[in-house]
Each structure stands twice: as structure tokens, then as C-alpha cells.
Chains A and B, each alone.
Chain A
Amino acid sequence: MTINFESKKKYNVIGTNPIRHDGYDKVTGRAIYGADVKLPGLIWGEVLRSPYAHARIKSIDTSKAEKMDGVFAVITSKDIPINKNRSGIDVNLKRDVDNILAYEKVLYKGHPVAAVSAADRNTAKEACKLIEVKYEILEPVKNVDEAIAKNAPILLEDIEADHLGKTVNNTNIAKHFRHELGDANNEFKNSDYILEKEFNLQMVHQGYIEPHNATAHWDENDHLSLWSSTQGMFAVRDLTAGFLDLPISKVTSNYVEIGGGFGGKTKVYLPPVAAILSKKSGHKPVKIIMDRISVFQGSGPAPGGKIIVKIGVTNEGKINSGAVDIKLEAGAYPGSAIPAAAVCCLACYNIPNIRVDAYDVLVNKPKSAAYRAPGSPQVSFAVESVIDEICEKMTWDKIDFRIANASKEGTRKPDGVLYHKIGFIETLEAAKNSDHWNSKIDKKDKNKIYGRGIACGYWHNGGNRSTVDLILQDDGNIALNEGSADIGGTRTSISMQVAETLGMPVESIHPSIPDTDKIGFTATTGGSRTTYATGYAGWEAANKLIEEMKKRVSILWEEPEEEIDFADGNFYSKKSDLKMNIEELATKINPTGGPVTSTASVNLSAAGNGFGIGICDLEIDPHTGKTDVIRYTAVQDVGKAIYPQYAEGQIRGGAVQGIGWALNEEYYIEKDGTMANTSFLDYRMPTALDMPNIDVIMVEVANPLHPFGVRGVGEVPIVPPLAAVGNAIKDATGSRIYSTPMKPRKILEVIDNG
């Protein structure tokens, strides 16, 4: 069911910037992160990883490691409970379990092969060196071209791939599917101008500062307790239980603070390994922390790939056809961001004829994971570059052309889904009226060249399941429990929605995130869903609380419930002039039936589609290719900014990550298929000195599916920068770069050739 909400203009709490509830703990360093977890008798685990990109494991001899002083246990994939009966495992679970400890084959450098528990971390590391693994080295598959080449080495020998409904074996294309709208093939004949271009992208990493970690205690009573840095403690519980063949009720996943995730902490790597080590070490709690090299090599980056875009326009300035061919690197196992990529690619525009061919391609690199709007930055880089080139060729205004073709309510996305109310046109108009778009580039240095680029981006955002519990305390405050990992200030954004509904100050709401036994299932924080969906549950729980409080007021006033009104934190009698606020009611509540609590769980199918625009000014040293972004404005439809400072923070952060992706970040893969640049020194993420202040313009076109109009905010902003930077480089140098990263060497090349 879809309820349509009218957006209210005036709020008391929503739209303000209070001190966030977790602020004090975080700035004083007292907040407990995964690495801070200490338990009595804690021992350490370490993971031995493959040095090869592609190899068959001939044998693993753990005897020397087992005999080492201080070592408790050594495990391999044979020790994982569900591997006891391989033929019975669901194929998806099998891929996931093989990713946490390799079974028969290693598929990327950094793929876990064995693990050790020992009295201290150093002993565990040294013991790993004593594990003898014999490999038969296989030829690595380094990119999508190699993966689909004739006679390519096959990563998964048991694959049964779905290619447009046909089952195919012996392939590295794990899936091929197609979206079609209208008739893209024929309509290109009616296009007055057609442009087709190919784009290549390298794999990139989210680069969160806190490495993956896990502490596990599998006790004598067969109960497993977990603590790990994750965007979804329920996902940790469910997957770990799955691997260990335990009922979920035997697994408790605790919330700890998270030092960045950006999608990369939606996967489960260490908790099951730590759990098995714990049991095998005589039920001692075991802790594992990845080092940075392992994070780069062994966690889930965002896919690179190859994208071919063909767009046809009429002389009247309308896009009439679009065809996109997307091949994304899934990494070692199926499941890249290809489903989203196939929708996001043309989602900004109202195009009658669309064909999208999408391929999920296996390569000998770590299994990819989500990264802010997964799949969308890659395809938008390609599409928005082509749009830019068409506008230049046809001398059309880059914003007016987009407004004329913009998706709006009733437009169909490539997968056929209709948009409800969206704010893309309003966002384009805000960009058009912005100070940035209307002022000249600040050309400070006559020895440099300058350029400006603009590009758009889309993300559908997520709904899914969320739970919020509320308790009215005797002092009139509200205790709030919610199940979403807080990666961007969501404790506060949820509390603000509850406070607004209850007519209370947000300081009276005290949020906590309990473990998985103490709150209803809540889906992983991702897809920009938390302020939207968990916020929705909070609003619903607050309304239920109000209903329950009305009952109690009716008992106290001896008036029928229907005669009691609630507004702005106060109960009113419709008949008399009786009035009471929540705080006062709390002191009188016990005789009316004991404490007042409420709970609400939602399962939202759709969310608020989000659109953003990036305007980027660059300065380039034409002799070295050194490129600096000197001004950047992000314009985005946020629906409603519950907490404007944090919404802006999300938008700035996304823009910075997108700019880093555009300019210098990449997995630099050696000839043997291994990643060379496994440190922050050589994985060139932008530093504070590389970024200008990012200006943010928030547009608020309320999402009709949410009581306060919220759309997701956190992911859209990473989408526009790749093409915005690329288009600015084109503006500055006269030449376009069709691959990422657009690093100095490539810029020099286009300057020399252009």
C-alpha cells in the first residue's frame, strides 16, 4: 500500500541542527568501536591469505602452526560446519562461504585460506607463516575483456549462469540480462544524431578508515555472541548462522560503532572465522582485526568494467533512443552492482526507446561490494559524458537540454517502473540558477588551464524492514531502541522524527541500538534507507505511543478516548478545558496500567528516488597534468532534510569520494593479477588539501511515500562527480578521457594529442 503524504511546511524539530546523541562519546574517544571490544580471556585470530590471484589449492599443512607455542587452533574451510555437506548448500551461500575461507581454489590475492588463534596477535601472525600451502598457479583473469575472451580461464568451474534465460556452463559471465522499453533498434533510425562511445573503469575501494574487525565468543552452551564493525548486525547474525549451521536464535550480534562503511561493511568476512576459532580454542573469545593491506586485497571494492553507450537525439533536442551495454566486474564470485547499474544508467531521462544489456563478469579480484549508489557512478560517467558531447556537438545548453529530457512523475525507468513524484527538474533549475553556474571560473594562474563540467546522477534509494521501540519513562523522557547501524547520524535523524511527532524536544529522546535479540529485524543500513525507513517506523511507533497515552489520559480524566486530542506534545479535552503534556502524564501513568511502550515494524517496498547534479571547476597544469578541483557545487533533491547539517555532510562526503574516484583512485593490477597499491600512500584518495569547500544546494521536493517527505540522501552525491570532472577536463583541454581514473598521465596524453 502506498500512502501519499502532504508535506508540512512548518516543523519544530525537523530542519534544525541539534547536538547528535552520539556526539559526546565520539569526540571524547569513549565510543566503543569493534577494535575496543575486550572480553575476559580474549585471544587473537589472524587470517592467512592467498599470495596468488588464481590458483588451485593442492594441500594445506597446518601441523607446524598447530605445534607453535601460544597457538590454540588452526582452521581451514573444512572446519566450516556447512562445508561438511557441500552438495546440500544453496549456491549463493556456497559462494559467500567460499569467499570467507577458500575451498579448493583461491580466486584473488588476499583470498583467505586458513586462520589461526593464539594468545596474542603477533603469535597468531607468526603462526600463519608456518602454515604450508601448496598451490597450482593458474592464469589470472584481470579484467572484463580477458574474462570474456575465447579460451579464458574459468573461475568457477561449477557455474550455471543465466544468459537471457538460458543456462550456460563454462563461462565467466555469471549473468546476462536485458531491459527493453519501446524499440531501441528501430528508433535509432529516426534519430538525427547518434553518438556511441566506450568507457573503461578501474575497480576502486570505499577507503573507510576503520578496518574490518570481529570478536566472537562461542560459549559452552552453544550460544554465539558477535561484535563486529558492520552496517547490518542482522546480516552478520543471519550469514554467520547460515555458515555455522546454527539457528539464528543461537547467535547474538551486538552493535558497535562503525568507522566508515560506504557500502563496504555490508558483507561478512571475519565474524564466522572468529566464531569457529573461538569454539576450536576451547570456547575462548577471539578477536580479529584486518590490516590495511587485507582490507584492500580481501574486502569488497566497487567494480570496474566496460560500458558502451549509444544515444540518439532528434534535431528538436529530444533523446529518442538509448542503448547501454554494461559489463561490470563482480570480482571472484557473482553479484556485482549490475542490477542497479542497468536501471540507473538512463534513469535521469525520459527516453521512449531503451535497450540495456547487462553482464555480471567474474574476474580474479576480490568479490565486489556496495559502494555508495552501487553501479550508478560507473554508468553515469559513461552516459553523462555522452550527453555532454552531444550537447557540445549540437550546441545545446547543457542544462536546458537536460530539463527538456528530464524524467518526471510518470516517466518509466529502464526496468519499466514508473516514477511517482520526483524532483529532478526542480534540481536542474536550482543548478541553472545557482551562483556557481552563473559566475565565471576563477582563473587565478595564467600558467594553468581551466574548465567547467556539469553532470547528473540518480539513485533509487531503499525501503525494506525496520523496527523502532519506544518507552515513555517516568520522568517524561522517551527511550528509543532501533535496529539500524548508525553510519551517518541516523540515531539523531530517527529521534528527530519521533520528537516531531510527539511534540517534544529531541533532547528528550534517548536512542540506543541494542543487539539482535532485543529489537525486531532491521535491514542493513544501506541504500540510503535508514532515515527514510527506520524514520518511518519511528513515526509510526510515536503515533502508537500517542494512541496508548490517549487511553491513559482518558482514564485519568474519566473522559472517552475519542474526546481527547493531541497536538504539539499536549493532550486536550474536546469537551472541557483539561490539558496535559507528556511529561506530566508520565508522572501519573503507573496507576493507569503501568508503563507505556510502543513498537512499530515496517517493510517498505519503495523509496524516494533521488537526483543530484555536480558542477565542477578544475585547474590543470598543462605541463604535468596535475589537476585540482577548485570549485564544486552539489545540487540535490533530498525530499526533506531532517538534519540539514548532516544531510549536507553526506552530500559533501559523497562528492569528495566521487572526485577521488574520477581523478586518481584505482586498483592498480600487476601482470600477475595482484593489486600493487595496497596502502593509502599509493591508493591515491584525496586528502583534505586536495579538496575545495564543496557548496551544497538542497532542493526539497517532498517524497509522497514518507510522512516528512524524506528521500535518501547519502548515495546520490557520489554519482555526478565522475562525469562532472571528465566534462570539465574536456572543457579545459579540448579532449575527453574515456576511462577512470583521469590521472595526470592521461591528461598529459590528451593535451599532447589534442
Chain B
Amino acid sequence: MQPFAYSAPTTLEEAVEILDKHGEKARPLAGGTDLLVQIRGGRFDLDTVVDIKKIPELNEISNGNDELVLGAAVPCHKLYDDPSISKSYPGLIDAATLIGSIQIQSRSGFGGNLCNSTPSADGIAPLIVHSAVANIQGKSGSRSVPVEDFCTGPGSNVLGKGEMLVSITMPNKGDKFGAAYERFIPRNEMDIAVAAVGASIMLDSNGKIAEAKIALASVGPTPIFATKASESLKGKEPNEAAFKEAASIAKSECSPIEDMRGTADQRKHLVEVLTERMLIKSLERIGG
């Protein structure tokens, strides 16, 4: 590890300026639960670490009637500490309560989880099923990208030189909506997903599925929005047959590898099992 400078800008402009100037040699620091481990492990060779926690926009957490705006540096515990968020964004809460441990959840959040962009990230699939959008600021302006289009490969994403994530926005889909996220790990905590599935269901006034979303983690180079499986549910009765079919489609939408955490076949099988379970759980949570 080489010595590096620490800066803690208080405005977005300042932060973007530093990031732009140093390019590859600078990285934003949110909770640091990924970044510090990576610096120590030699993954980055930095001359500047930019602490973004002093920038007001990044600490914002506003739960309006229509949407939730989550600043990129808001730690997990702020979500589950707020009952109104827990009610409307249950998939998010599933992730917030299982990432790491109490200590990790007190420091780290969805912004860092998304920008770290690992295939196994527990925050990203839930964001996808909550139809979240990433709001990005660069030197030349801002843009918004749906979370499912944010990651481009293991550890890489759409952020360009000098760009940073400011916030994540999610629509409030009302009380005909339910969502859930679960990962499979051999232990009961402190483990990394062998495979994971997020799902959400919105019912129409007839009790049929108006919209469903299924997202998968740890079964491809990025978290995967399983569009075919999601589409297959549209207009259907929310029942076992429909869920089983969607689960089977989801299984075909992933491309897992074999590594120390699991085999490809095992992961595909888990996607099928967890998809059905998450759809059932999402449905149970509607109006619950």
C-alpha cells in the first residue's frame, strides 16, 4: 500500500472536480467497507481517497408519497430504522438487514454496494425489483440510469471519468405491491451469496399480476434483471403454476460459473428454488 491523500469535500462540485482531476488514482469513500479492504488488498493504487459523507445530497433520505430518494452515502441501518420505508420497500429491507453484520450495516449502504458492482452484491437485485434509478453527477452534468443497466461486468459499471453516484430513486408502488430478497448461503450470516433472488409483484384491481420483477445475483458477471421470467407473469393469476413457470424461466436466464462458492448446476437450481420462494413471499407481503 502506497501513501495516499484523504480529502473530504463538502459540495458535489468539489468532489467531482477532485475525481475528475485524479481519474483512476482517486476513488470515492462511502462506508469504506469495500474500499478499505480493496486498498489494503492491493486492488487499487490510489493517490487520493475522496470521503463523500460530508456532502449533503449524499446523506439525503427522503421518503415522499411517490418516491424514495436515497443519498449514495446513506448507511443500511437508516432504512430499517424507519418504519415507513420498511412498509413500502420490503425488498430493500431484506437486503439492508442481511448485508454483513450490525457493524457493517452501520457504515455501509446501497450506494457503495451498487458502485462496487460485484455480481454477488446483495443490494443490487432488490434495487432492480424496486425499479430503482441511479442518479449520476459528472463534470459536464448529470444523468440517470436504471439500476439494471448500471453494472457492466464484475466490479465495473457505467460511471465514467469524474462521475459519481449521487442518489438512488425508487417509486412507491402503493399497497398492491410486495417485494422480497433472499440469498442462499451455507451458513446463517457473514457469507457471500452462492445465488440470490429478488422479486416483486404488483397486483391490479382484479388481483391479477400487473407487473412483476425478478432479479438474480451471483449467477452471472453482473446482477441480472430476468426480463423473460418477469414478463411471463404479467396478466396472470398469482398462483403456484405461474410462479413455477417463472422460476423455470429465470433459471434459463442466468449464466453462473463454478468456483469455490458453488457449482454452475447448483446455482441454477438455487435460482429456480429461490425465485419461486421470493414470488410467494412478495405476494404474501402485499397488503401485509
Contacts and interface: CB of A to CB of B under 8 A. Distances in A.
A689 B189 contact: yes
Contact of B1 (A126, A680, A690, A745): A126
A684 B191 contact: yes
B1 A682 contact: no
B259 A676 contact: yes
A589 interface: no
Given A668-B260, A677-B260, A748-B266, A624 B184 contact: yes
Contacts of A684: 186-187, 191
A680 to B, nearest CB: 8
Q: Could you say which of A125, A126, A663, A687 has the most chain B C-beta atoms within 10 Å of its C-beta?
A: A687
Interface in A726-754: 743-745, 748
A745 B190 contact: no
Interface in A597-624: 623-624
Nearest to B3: A122
Nearest to A676: B260
Contact of A686 (B187, B194, B269): B187
Contacts of A627: 186
A690 B188 contact: yes
Please classify the interface of chain B as helix (H, G, I), strand (E, B), loop, or mixed, using the class held by over half of its residues: loop
Contacts of B260: 668, 676-677, 682
Contacts of A745: 262-263, 266
Interface string B173-197: 0000000000010111111101000
Contacts of B263: 745
Interface in B215-265: 259-263
Nearest to B270: A624
Nearest to B195: A624
Given A623-B273, A681-B191, A748-B269, A743 B186 contact: yes
Contacts of B261: 682
B259 to A, nearest CB: 7
A626 interface: yes
Contact of A681 (B188, B190, B194, B273): B190
Contact of B187 (A126, A677, A689, A748): A689
Contact of B192 (A628, A681, A686): A681
Contacts of A7: none
B206 interface: no
A682 B190 CA distance: 9
A595 to B, nearest CB: 52
Contacts of A663: 186
A459 B75 CA distance: 50
A168 to B, nearest CB: 35
Contacts of B205: none
B44 to A, nearest CB: 15
Contacts of B188: 628, 687, 689-690
Nearest to B41: A293
B140 interface: no
Contacts of A464: none
Nearest to A667: B260
A581 interface: no
A743 B194 CA distance: 12
B263 to A, nearest CB: 6
A250 B26 CA distance: 51
Contacts of B191: 681, 684
A628 B188 CA distance: 9
A664 B186 contact: yes
Interface in A145-179: none
A388 to B, nearest CB: 24
Nearest to B188: A689
Contacts of B184: 624, 626, 744
B1 A122 contact: yes
A690 B188 CA distance: 6
B273 A126 contact: no
A681 B194 CA distance: 12
B147 to A, nearest CB: 25
Contacts of B269: 748
B113 to A, nearest CB: 15
A677 B259 CA distance: 10
Interface residues of A, number: 25
A680 B192 CA distance: 11
Contacts of A126: 1-2
Contacts of B259: 676
Interface in A629-682: 663-664, 668, 676-677, 680-682
Interface string B27-59: 000000000000000000000000000000000
B260 to A, nearest CB: 4
Nearest to B269: A748
A663 B187 CA distance: 10
A430 B191 CA distance: 37
Contacts of B190: 680-681, 687
Nearest to A670: B260
Interface string B1-26: 11100000000000000000000000
Given A122-B1, A624-B270, A668-B260, A687 B189 contact: yes
Interface string A683-721: 010110110000000000000000000000000000000
Interface in A103-160: 122, 125-126
A126 B1 CA distance: 7
A624 B262 CA distance: 12
Contacts of A690: 187-189
B269 to A, nearest CB: 7
A745 B189 CA distance: 18
Given A676-B260, A677-B260, A624 B273 contact: yes
Nearest to B262: A745
A301 B187 CA distance: 22
Which among B259, B260, B273 has the greatest number of chain A C-beta atoms within 10 A? B260
B108 to A, nearest CB: 15
A157 to B, nearest CB: 32
Interface in B50-106: none
A664 B1 CA distance: 33
A687 B100 CA distance: 12
Count chain A CB atoms within 10 A of each CB in B187, B189, B190 and give the residue with the most. Answer: B187
B118 to A, nearest CB: 12
B233 to A, nearest CB: 21
B187 A664 contact: yes
A687 B191 CA distance: 10
Contacts of B192: 681-682
A125 B259 CA distance: 29
Interface in B93-144: none
Interface centre among A126, A623, A743, by most chain B C-beta atoms within 10 angstroms, is A623
A64 to B, nearest CB: 16
A754 B13 CA distance: 63
Contacts of A748: 266, 269
User: Most A CB atoms within 10 A — which of B1, B3, B186, B263?
Assistant: B186
B285 to A, nearest CB: 19
A687 B186 CA distance: 11
A212 B187 CA distance: 27
B114 to A, nearest CB: 20
Contacts of A743: 186
B276 to A, nearest CB: 9
Nearest to B187: A690
Contacts of A623: 273
A684 B185 CA distance: 10
Given A125-B1, A682-B260, A745-B263, A626 B186 contact: yes
Interface of B: 1-3, 184, 186-192, 194, 259-263, 266, 269-270, 273
Given A690-B188, A690-B189, 17 more contacts: A125-B1, A126-B1, A624-B184, A624-B270, A624-B273, A626-B184, A663-B186, A680-B190, A681-B190, A682-B260, A684-B187, A687-B187, A689-B189, A743-B186, A744-B186, A745-B266, A748-B266
9 contacts: A126-B1, A623-B273, A664-B186, A676-B259, A677-B260, A680-B190, A684-B191, A744-B266, A745-B263
- Interchain residue pairs A-B with the least CB separation, the first 6: A668-B260, A689-B188, A676-B260, A745-B266, A623-B273, A677-B260
